[in-house]
Chains A and B, each alone.
Chain A
Amino acid sequence: MLRPLSDLKSGERGIVRELQGGRRLAARLAGLGLTPGALVGVVHNYGRGPLTVAVLHTRVALGLGQAARVLVETTEAER
């Protein structure tokens, strides 16, 4: 099941499957490591304001609007 990245709670992880919102946004996200197939973890998501995600050993802040365009497949409870 695909979920928007903005719905993930702090600590949840997933694999990026789809980038919506057009080529420009997708190209910018790709430069930061967010391409289909990338493993992404949510570091902080407070539900309002931007969220911080971990991707390719870096931290990226995304506005909620942008995070909603990144669809991920969650890898449940992998502990």
Chain B
Amino acid sequence: MSSEAAGLVTIALAGQPNVGKSTVFNRLTGLNQHVGNWPGKTVEQKTGEMEYEGTPIRLVDLPGTYSLTANSEEERVARDFILRERPDVVIAIVNAAALERNLYLLAELLVLPRPVVIGLNMMDVAESQGVRVEPEVLEAALKVPVVPLVASRNQGLLPLVAAALRVAAAPGAFAPLRPEIRATHRPVLAAIAAGLAGKLPPLYPTDWAALKLLEGDAEIAAVVRAAAPEAWDDIHPLLLKHEDAYLDIAGGRYEWIARMVRAAVVRPRAGVVTITDRLDRVATHPLGGLALLLGVLAAVFWLTYAAAAPLVSLLGRAISGSLAGAVRSALTPAPSWFAAFVVDGLIRGAGMVLSFLPILVFFFALIGLLEDVGYMARMAYVMDRFMHRLGLHGKSSLPLFLGFGCNIPAVLGTRIIEDRRARLLTLLLAPLVPCTARLAVVTFLAPAFFGELATWAMVGLVALNLVVLVVVGVALNKLVFRGAKTAFIMEMPLYHVPNLRTIGLFVWNNVWAFLKKAGSVIVVVAAIVWALSSWPGPGMEHSVLAGLGRALTPIGAWIGVDDWRFIVALLTSFVAKENTIATLGVLFSAGERGVGLAGRVAAALPPSAAFAFLAVQMLFVPCAATVAATRQEAGWRWALLSVVMLLALSLAVGSVTYQVLSRM
């Protein structure tokens, strides 16, 4: 059988959303996985490596989709991969408790020219609902290998891989029962197929292309128009005549599914009232759900900051105190400028940023937990009514909520929004959500600026920020997007026991992205800021940076900030928000010893200007990484619009705040 020489086996993992597909993927690949993008697409691609009895396997996680009709980029990516990359075998993960709906995707996979193996997941959930599914009977009906799984408890995964390898080794033996369309449309399907025969690029199987044309698939229509214009002229009138065939085809698939599962599934006569239904009576109730949501959000933020704050200050002290001291004495033989660069530039600057790490770990762990348990869909549901006022629907609240952790996952998270207009609007709003980096800057500076009133000042700043977000959302929706409405359609997954491994990987992927940023961009900026602040000298007062900051003080005066060091801190926050602290750390660390950084910074600004400064800091131009992510998702025009909009907005809000506060 397959030896090393037989080479790599590629397995594609397909499945509808909420079937535990990522649990299967994570279990099989562990940390041997790479998260990236499909080439040229804004769809996440996960691949991983594993080995089974000496056979090396490449596992490709296809996007979770309900069908393969090219309605969304995810669906196009999934079917293009199967057609173009021709994986050796496709594993279709289905939820045993909702088999009929889940097999819809299988019905589409079986008409593609690759062998399929079914992973019948969530057998435990089905059992708890009194649903009996018999894998052997299903296998006999479909003539497709079926392996029962409980992926969350690691049951059945290796037999699944073994079954997939068996099919991959003998693809010729794979002869499933394929779904047929209703009798009424069979003649027209045959006519289209006859018209296409031999005229398409070899990538596309004729029968499949004919079926997709009848379903009104615009992408395949374009392929046919380009490859066989004369065939298209014959086919097009047929398609127009059978324009509503797509509903019949979809209905036909469900009828086929019903026949396939009839003998394999036994359901209790009276539907079981599941725990999910009982919980949702509260979680989706207009009032109860809102109260629960507010409670959950409050708990997330309280836990994040209460649990992380001691760790943050501990890390901060360790980095700027012990570590800086130890490094300084270790560097005594080195030239003094080098010691100053490492200690004041790198450790006090970039190193301080690392002290925010606990906040990110706690926040993403809690979000990962809510997501894995199934609560996030309820949040979208409850938020839908409110998001409508912004011209958005419930799903937009999910990436925006992620934005409280970091704006980059928020920008990438807008991918779940199908409608382009709603997606762009969410993209523009995402940087207005105060991320942990900005909140950490405020948490660091507010106590020094406002003393006992710090908590109120912080609440005020966050509230101001959120009011701006809503006002901008309503305005953008009216002015730019002209108040168009979008469709809200979303499956409500079953609640389930969280899986630590899934949450752990979620935290790891997000924190790792942050560490990479801290290790590269932020270190470079801290170094540049330090260099510009020491050159040409003598002293910082005569540096390039001081010159730039002074040149901009007329603008700073709008918000009452006449100290160039704050303006420079704001400018460097474009590279990364944490730099506000890093830069202030560098610029205020020279000279005076003894007084803490926060104290020295606070002494330089009156409270009204300090509040305005922090308001601008929170609303300022998104960080470079967020701008880069926006460009990747929506193009330069939208990224630029986002930068200009926030620059104007932050200065406007900052000046108004300062004018009001300084008159009080």
Contacts and interface: CB of A to CB of B under 8 A. Distances in A.
B393 interface: yes
B491 A32 contact: yes
Interface string A49-79: 1101001111111110110000000000000
A57 B487 contact: no
A17 B99 CA distance: 23
A48 B98 contact: no
Interface residues of A, number: 34
A70 B377 CA distance: 22
Interface stretch (B245-253, B558-566, B625-633): B245-253
Nearest to A59: B492
Given A33-B101, A36-B247, A66 B384 contact: no
Interface in B74-113: 97-101, 104
Contact of A56 (B98, B377, B382): B98
The prevalent SS among residues of A at the interface is mixed
A44 B284 contact: yes
Contact of B66 (A25, A31, A59): A31
B280 A44 contact: yes
B485 interface: yes
Contact of B251 (A35, A61, A63): A35
A75 B607 CA distance: 67
Looking at B65, B247, B281, the one whose CB has the most chain A CB atoms below 10 A away is B247
A62 B418 CA distance: 14
A35 B66 CA distance: 13
A65 B591 CA distance: 65
A35 B216 contact: no
B251 A37 contact: yes
A36 B104 contact: no
A28 B489 contact: yes
Nearest to B385: A49
B384 A26 contact: no
A43 interface: yes
B387 to A, nearest CB: 10
A2 interface: no
B283 to A, nearest CB: 10
Interface string B368-408: 00000000010011101100000001100000000000000
B254 interface: yes
Interface residues of B, number: 44
Nearest to B129: A57
Contact of B489 (A32, A43, A59): A32
B71 A57 contact: no
Contact of B67 (A25, A27, A44, A66): A27
Contacts of B492: 52, 58-61
A8 interface: no
A51 B105 CA distance: 25
Interface string B61-72: 000011101010
Interface string B247-275: 10011001100000000000100000000
A57 B67 contact: no
Contact of A30 (B67, B384, B394): B67
A48 B100 contact: no
B497 interface: no
B178 interface: no
Contacts of A36: 247, 251
A43 B381 CA distance: 14
A63 to B, nearest CB: 3
A27 B72 CA distance: 11
B250 A43 contact: no
B488 A58 contact: no
Contacts of B104: 30-31, 33
Nearest to A62: B489
B277 interface: yes
A55 B492 CA distance: 11
B155 interface: no
A75 to B, nearest CB: 15
B454 to A, nearest CB: 38
A60 B491 contact: yes
Given A49-B385, A50-B381, A59-B276, A31 B69 contact: yes
Interface in B214-239: 215-216
A62 B99 CA distance: 21
Given A46-B286, A61-B381, A63-B489, A52 B280 contact: yes
Contacts of B284: 44, 52, 61
B285 interface: yes
A31 B78 CA distance: 15
A26 B246 contact: yes
Looking at A27, A36, A56, A65, the one whose CB has the most chain B CB atoms below 10 A away is A27
Contacts of A37: 251, 254-255
A66 B489 contact: yes
B339 to A, nearest CB: 60
Looking at B71, B276, B394, the one whose CB has the most chain A CB atoms below 10 A away is B71
A58 B67 CA distance: 16
9 contacts: A26-B246, A28-B418, A28-B489, A31-B67, A50-B385, A57-B97, A57-B101, A62-B489, A65-B488
Given A33-B254, A44-B285, A61-B394, 12 more contacts: A26-B250, A31-B65, A33-B100, A33-B101, A48-B385, A50-B394, A57-B97, A57-B100, A57-B101, A57-B267, A59-B491, A63-B487
Instruction: Give the 10 A-B residue pairs with the shortest CB-CB distance, closest first.
Output: A31-B66, A63-B488, A30-B250, A31-B67, A56-B101, A59-B492, A49-B385, A35-B251, A33-B101, A57-B98
